[in-house]
Structure 1
């Protein structure tokens, strides 16, 4: 399948959100509370009316998707970009074309298409500043053979996801990272 066919196969934002069973309330909370800054809107302005589309490879259990998807949707609204969601685990043929570091099915992955359905840019699964934060937090964990490792790792990820839900600075890190990829 070509990218346009994958796009057409995808769920609309409403279909994706209404089908969520894990992070729906938290994602909707960010969607309601996040607003693009004036600077972000100005950066996106040249993309208005360009007929852009984006395929969002995602799953509703993913903490990074919980953060990134509502930011993407606000950006899409701003520039009139159509968004379609594909569930990663049901679309491995496409997912495996966009592996992180060539090995990981990390999500979300956003495949931006121009008006002709050609790949314009790929973004994901995290803004670099967030990746740096995750690496920093992981470095504080005990070794994997430590009996407390699993509990401490779960606590670390819970803390990160909790901050994703309320930290506007993180929201704007994501928006700026996507802008950097899209606006050249």
Structure 2
């Protein structure tokens, strides 16, 4: 196993641990990450409330559950995140529900981006430290097989098209993105991640 992965796993959190870490920092008026500001703390508060709602409402489809149950190997899904990240707040509850539905075939672990700079730099998106990033590791072999993120294809296209038209990413696109996630109900995340592990299993990756 690569040293950057091993180090990250050593300091990783379970989903409940991650949720508690973010909530405890908010009690002190702080967010996760090296940078502290009122805006980041406010984003973290909003995301904490959003994740509380999604933890109650996100449903994994029967079709996805059936496909996950057919996986022959066990995986670690190592997610790079931060509490202030809006995409992470939409995606992590979905991934957690997928892991819970997998009957321990998927072990979800979460690390903070700013505490794992070396790891983050290995999984840049177009040169940017975009999160969340899901690193899919074969548990038995300790080998990284794939990565995914920072958002589903449809959401990425929404962002790219907006930036192409207006040249900036402003508050309107942030609102539009959250509405996209609301309408999608986590289905794209389920489909794309399940497709990746199936491609691994059947030798297509």
Q: Fold match, TM over 0.5?
A: yes
Structure 1 position 33, deviation (Å): 0.5
Structure 1 position 11, deviation (Å): 1.2
How many angstroms apart in 2 are the aligned matches of 1:56 and 1:34? 19
Render the CA deviation track for 1:131-156: whole Å, top value 9, x for unaligned.
Answer: 11222333443x55xxxxx7xx1122
Contact 2:155–2:177, Cα closer than 8 Å, also in 1: no
How many angstroms apart in 2 are the aligned matches of 1:118 and 1:63? 29
Matches within 5 A, 1:41-52: 41-47=65-71, 50-52=73-75
- Higher relative contact order structure (alpha carbons within 8 Å, sequence separation ≥ 6): 1
Larger deviation, residues 153-162 vs 60-69? 153-162
Matches within 5 A, 1:68-87: 68-79=91-102, 80=104, 81-87=106-112
Compute the RMSD of aligned alpha carbons.
1.9
Larger deviation, residues 32-41 vs 155-164? 155-164
Other-structure match for 1:147: none
How many angstroms apart in 1 are the aligned matches of 2:116 and 2:8? 9
The equivalent position to 2:154 in structure 1, one of 121, 125, 129, is 129
- Unmatched tracts of structure 2, length 5 or more: 27-43, 200-205
Other-structure match for 1:183: 198
SS of the equivalent of 2:122 reads coil
Other-structure match for 1:111: 135
Other-structure match for 1:18: 20
Poorly superposed stretches of 4+, deviation over 6 Å = none
How many angstroms apart in 2 are the aligned matches of 1:183 and 1:28? 30
TM (norm. structure 2) is: 0.76
